[in-house]
């Protein structure tokens, strides 16, 4: 039956079509066991019902949250932002860019100049009509030398942005980027009316499906449907209540007792029990979220690739996925590209736990007896300390000595990450290969957390970015992944699933996995049965 | 009564000095933590230039003593400042949360204090009986479990199994008074279970202590009933220590319930303070710290004054 469950999951997540699903289930002789509700979903999808108050209990809220698109530090403000505002581009469940506030876009042959045509007649919640000036203002909110935006690194490659008439915006980039429309789908880069800044950003004026009624940071965001919403077939709920619930047990209890309709970040240890509950639905998102163990290459002995390979071979990824992730994830291959991404290098051999090879490379690096300090705290990701301890035990069998240094959760990102020579880290991943590499692996990236500088890799990355031929691009990215895996300075032991659960009456189809909660768009995409 | 007024004035003066000292300690404490607001808010997304711009805008690049004096100056004018993280006035952030905290604390106290005193008196009355032992064991057990454990047990029983009360108490301004009361039944019960033991044991011990005095023996010899001896003769003389322990527990109900707030998703002041410390939002930390300290000082002062009033010997010193 577990095969059936797996197929059902694939179908619900849109990874296989209905036709495929029926064919494969019939092959198993299990057709009678399939829930009729599952197959009727597409028929129902044509007419989602309107109405109701959708209550989400989410981890990732703090009393210090703000609605400034330049901050949006975690899930609750991010979800609020997506209810209130749109971006130029949306990504669908297949992680393809589709038009949102931009009706269409086009690039120069070298992909350095991008022209976005805006949708006409879209109004902000305050009645103002969206035009090119608003787009320029919204993007410039993150640019410039006084920018304090968390998205500054993302917009840095934009050399210039200009309005060309009321409905056209032209971006000039410092280098060609064939994936630029994906960048425009980023949640920080959502559209605000020109001139909005400071405290006015907290009013949450946007063009989005819901309008802000009240926001109590770290407690609750309450929104009502925008009667004037421009997108068709979206925003089915009347009201959305986004409740910050940091304790996973409190979230689970609230869902079980019907006080909320959906929760994110389910407890991995009890997820199999949630799956069995008939009054709940569960969603497994196999996205780009991965856990890494970066080594700072400017600190000895991590400058030696032999030392790095010794450590890469010294970890039993299967065991970590089985214990730390409870099987709810997949093993990583020491590069940050997920299995469902466009240019994932499926032919690249999977690196396995190999104590002999680890020993060999350790000897080659002349580091026998060296003690590697591995800095860990659960602030990096839930279970990071456990993962570090397993790593240590695995490595000990290969004669590699690891000393796990337990760091405080508080201030982890400012004091440990990118400061200590080897530590645990978390990446939510990016929809495109280029974006991920450019964020954390390119030599000049602000978040290059290993300070790794590989000439060939950096050359290939720029080349691939501007390459519009798909087959050529695939080759280039294959080599990028191979180089990062074999010569990079990050151990990527695992990719983790996003675990979401909802009440039985919450309906959805083709759930996107690029971000949690259907790509943060559950409020506008889902509905009540 | 003059000495009572004198005491109140003196204690208020000392209280203000204490608050001043506490604000310095809080400020230095947050300063001593590694990292600052800019780094904590931007987290993994921080770039050196964005951190610098953040610091400049919020004046975090000024030396600490200048920032402290500026904050103190504003406070003297009655302005608690703005949250560094989201620019909201601290008074707005703190105001309704403090009201929520008080609401929960008072509700719990209204249940816990009478129960504790009653149980204490009964336990003293039937000292060393089976009843006394059962009460002591039961209350000591509930105080020995961690709060979150008591909370989870109550949720599992009364919310998940029996579906009587809600498992989260996320009250908001739109709810009526009775809706709020219904929402906070479980946290209220948790807190009651946690604080009853302390007050109950103190009441019992204080009464038993008094029972050894000659005037109680006198009362017994006069042939007064045991219940009357304890309620009318012993209890009034045992009030002073009981009042003190009640004050301590009330203070705990206001300032020490952050875990209960987290488990029940209750929007109180504790969570605000924890979040603000972890993000280094100093004005908010200061406001919460001063409120908590004032509650402690105020309740201790009240307890001392009530102790004096309840004790004729302290009321009229020779």
Q: What is the CA radius of gyration of chain B?
A: 24
Measured distance CA(A60)–CA(A77) in Å, rounded: 8
Q: Give the nearest chain B residue to A67 (CA atoms).
A: B86
Q: Which residues contact A171 (CB under 8 A, 6 or more apart)?
A: A113, A114, A115, A116, A158, A160, A161, A180
In whole angstroms, what is the distance from residue A480 CA to residue A464 CA?
9
> Which residues on chain B are in Cβ contact (under 8 Å) with A415?
34-35
Domain positions in chain A are: 290-496
B43 chain-A contacts, CB cut-off 8 A: 73, 150, 413-414
Q: What is the mean pLDDT of each run of 10 residues along chain A (529 residues)?
A: 57 59 56 48 63 94 90 92 96 91 93 94 94 95 88 90 94 92 94 92 95 93 95 94 92 92 92 92 91 94 94 95 93 93 92 94 92 93 93 94 91 87 91 90 88 94 90 94 95 94 93 90 95
Q: Do A150 and B34 touch (CB under 8 A)?
A: no
Shortest Cα distance, chain B CAs vs residue A315, angstroms: 25
pTM of the model: 0.84
What pLDDT score was predicted for residue A40? 43
A290-496: CATH number: 3.10.105.10
Q: Name the H helices within A328-417.
A: 355-364, 384-397, 412-415
Those residues of chain B that have pLDDT short of 70 are: 1-2, 317-318
Please report the pLDDT score of residue A63 as a whole number.
87
Nearest to B183 by CA among B100, B248, B247: B100
Chosen from A75, A140, A253, A261 to mutate, greatest number of chain B CBs within 10 A: A253
Do residue B166 and residue A257 have CB atoms under 8 angstroms apart? yes
How many CA atoms does the CB half-sphere of A218 hold within 13 Å? 25
Q: How far is A446 from chain B (nearest CA, A)?
A: 6
ipTM: 0.82
Contact flag A250-B41 (C-beta cutoff 8 Å): no
Four-CA torsion B122, B128, B130, B133, nearest 10 degrees: 80
Q: In the structure encoding, which two tokens stand for residue B111, read together?
A: 């249940």
Q: Which of B33, B43, B54 sits opposite A413 (nearest CB)?
A: B43
DSSP string, A39-65: HHHHHHHTSPPP--EEEEEES---TT-
In 3D space, the residue among B104, B107, B60, B84 whose CA is nearest the CA of residue B287 turns out to be B84
Distance in angstroms (rounded) separating the CA atoms of residues A83 and A54 = 12
Of B35, B50, B264, Cβ closest to residue A250: B264
A371: left (phi over 0), alpha (psi -120 to 50) or beta: beta
| Minimal CA separation from B44 to chain A, in Å | 6
DSSP one-letter code for B43: G
Cα angle A177, A208, A243 (rounded to 5 degrees) comes to: 110
3-state secondary structure of A257: coil
Contacts of B86 in chain A (CB under 8 A): 64-66, 68, 202, 217
Three-state SS at A303 = coil
Pairing label, strands A239-244, A53-58: parallel
Q: Which residues of B touch A61 (CB under 8 A)?
A: none
C-alpha A40/C-alpha A11 separation (Å) is 12
- Which of A102, A288, A297 lies closest to A191, judged by CA? A102
Which pLDDT belongs to residue A362?
Answer: 94
Dihedral, CA of residue B36, residue B42, residue B46 and residue B52, to nearest 10: -50
Residue A41 pLDDT: 44
Contact between B44 and A68 using a beta-carbon 8 Å cutoff: no
What would the two tokens of residue B104 be?
Answer: 């929960």
Burial class (CB in 10 A: 0-12, 13-18, 19+), A237: buried
pLDDT at site B172: 84
Residue whose structure tokens are 């240590």: A392
Cα-based distances in Å from B196 to A389, B148, B190? 42, 16, 10
Q: Which residues of B touch A254 (CB under 8 A)?
A: 167-168, 265
Phi then psi dihedrals of residue B144, to 5 deg: -80, -25
């Amino acid at each position: 039956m577990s095969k059936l469950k797996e197929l059902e999951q694939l179908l619900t997540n849109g990874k296989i079509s209905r036709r495929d699903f029926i064919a494969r289930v019939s092959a198993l002789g299990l057709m009678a066991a399939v829930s009729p509700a599952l197959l009727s979903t597409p028929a129902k999808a044509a007419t989602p019902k309107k109405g109701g108050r959708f209550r989400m209990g989410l981890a990732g809220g703090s009393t210090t949250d703000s609605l400034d698109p330049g901050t949006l530090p975690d899930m609750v403000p991010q979800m609020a932002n997506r209810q209130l505002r749109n971006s130029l581009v949306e990504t669908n469940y297949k992680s393809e860019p589709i038009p949102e506030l931009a009706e269409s876009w086009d690039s120069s042959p070298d992909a350095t100049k991008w022209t976005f045509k805006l949708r006409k007649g879209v109004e902000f919640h305050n009645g103002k009509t969206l035009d090119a000036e608003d787009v320029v203002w919204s993007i410039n909110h993150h640019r410039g030398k006084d920018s304090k935006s968390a998205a500054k690194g993302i917009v840095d490659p934009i050399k210039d942005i200009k309005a060309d008439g009321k409905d056209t915006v032209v971006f000039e980039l410092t280098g060609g980027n064939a994936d630029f429309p994906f960048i425009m789908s980023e949640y920080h880069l959502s559209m605000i009316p020109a001139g909005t800044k400071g405290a006015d950003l907290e009013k949450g004026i946007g063009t989005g499906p819901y309008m802000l009624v009240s926001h109590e940071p770290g407690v609750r965001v309450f929104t009502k449907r925008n009667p004037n919403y421009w997108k068709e077939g979206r925003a089915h709920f009347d009201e959305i209540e986004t409740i910050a619930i940091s304790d996973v047990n409190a979230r689970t209890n609230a869902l079980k007792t019907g006080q909320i309709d959906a929760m994110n970040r389910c407890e991995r240890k009890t997820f199999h029990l949630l799956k069995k509950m008939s009054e709940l639905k569960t969603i497994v998102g196999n996205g780009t979220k991965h856990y890494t163990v970066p080594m700072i290459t400017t600190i000895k002995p991590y400058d030696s690739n032999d030392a790095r390979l010794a450590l890469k071979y010294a970890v039993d990824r299967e065991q970590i996925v089985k214990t730390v992730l409870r099987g709810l994830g997949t093993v990583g291959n020491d590069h940050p590209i997920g299995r469902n991404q466009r240019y994932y290098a499926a032919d690249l051999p999977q690196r396995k736990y190999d104590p002999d090879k680890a020993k060999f490379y350790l000897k080659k690096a002349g580091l026998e007896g060296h003690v590697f300090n591995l800095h860990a705290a659960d602030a990096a990701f839930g279970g990071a300390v456990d993962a570090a301890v397993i790593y240590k035990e695995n490595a000990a069998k290969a004669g590699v000595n690891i000393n796990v240094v337990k760091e405080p959760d508080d201030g982890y990102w400012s004091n440990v990450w990118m400061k200590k020579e080897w530590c645990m880290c978390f990446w939510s991943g990016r929809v495109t290969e280029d974006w991920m590499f450019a964020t954390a692996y390119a030599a000049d990236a602000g978040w290059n957390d290993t300070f790794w500088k590989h000439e060939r890799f950096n050359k290939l990355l720029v080349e691939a970015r501007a390459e519009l031929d798909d087959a050529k691009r695939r080759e280039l990215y294959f080599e990028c992944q191979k180089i990062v895996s074999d010569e990079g300075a990050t151990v990527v032991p695992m990719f983790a699933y996003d675990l979401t659960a909802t009440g039985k009456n919450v309906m959805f189809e083709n759930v996107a996995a690029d971000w949690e909660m259907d790509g943060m768009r559950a409020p506008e995409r889902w509905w009540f049965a | 009564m003059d000495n009572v007024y004198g005491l109140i004035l003196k204690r208020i003066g000392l209280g203000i000095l204490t608050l001043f000292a506490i604000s310095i300690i809080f400020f230095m404490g947050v300063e001593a933590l590694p990292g600052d607001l800019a780094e904590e808010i931007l987290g993994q997304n921080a770039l050196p230039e964005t951190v610098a711009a953040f610091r400049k805008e919020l004046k975090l690049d000024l030396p600490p003593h200048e920032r402290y004096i500026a904050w103190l100056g504003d406070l003297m004018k009655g302005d608690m400042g703005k949250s560094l993280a989201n620019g909201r006035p601290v008074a707005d952030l703190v105001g309704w949360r403090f009201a929520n905290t008080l609401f929960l604390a008072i509700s719990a106290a209204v249940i816990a204090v009478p129960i504790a005193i009653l149980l204490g008196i009964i336990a003293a009355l039937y000292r060393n009986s089976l009843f006394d032992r059962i009460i002591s064991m039961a209350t000591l057990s509930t105080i020995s479990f961690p709060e979150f454990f008591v909370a989870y047990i109550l949720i599992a029983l009364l919310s998940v199994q029996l579906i009587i009360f809600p498992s989260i108490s996320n009250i908001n301004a739109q709810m009526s008074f009775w809706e709020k009361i219904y929402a906070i039944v479980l946290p209220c019960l948790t807190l009651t279970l946690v604080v009853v033991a302390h007050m109950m044991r103190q009441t019992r011990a204080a009464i038993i202590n008094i029972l050894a005095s000659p005037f109680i023996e006198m009362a017994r010899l006069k042939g007064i009933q045991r219940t009357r001896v304890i309620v009318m003769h012993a209890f009034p003389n045992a009030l002073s220590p009981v009042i003190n322990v009640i004050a301590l527990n009330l203070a705990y109900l206001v300032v020490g319930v952050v875990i209960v707030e987290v488990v029940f998703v209750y929007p109180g002041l504790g969570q605000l303070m924890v979040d603000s410390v972890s993000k280094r939002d100093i004005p908010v930390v200061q406001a919460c710290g001063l409120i908590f300290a004032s509650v402690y000082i105020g309740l201790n002062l009240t307890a001392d004054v009530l102790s004096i009033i309840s004790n004729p010997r302290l009321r009229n010193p020779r």
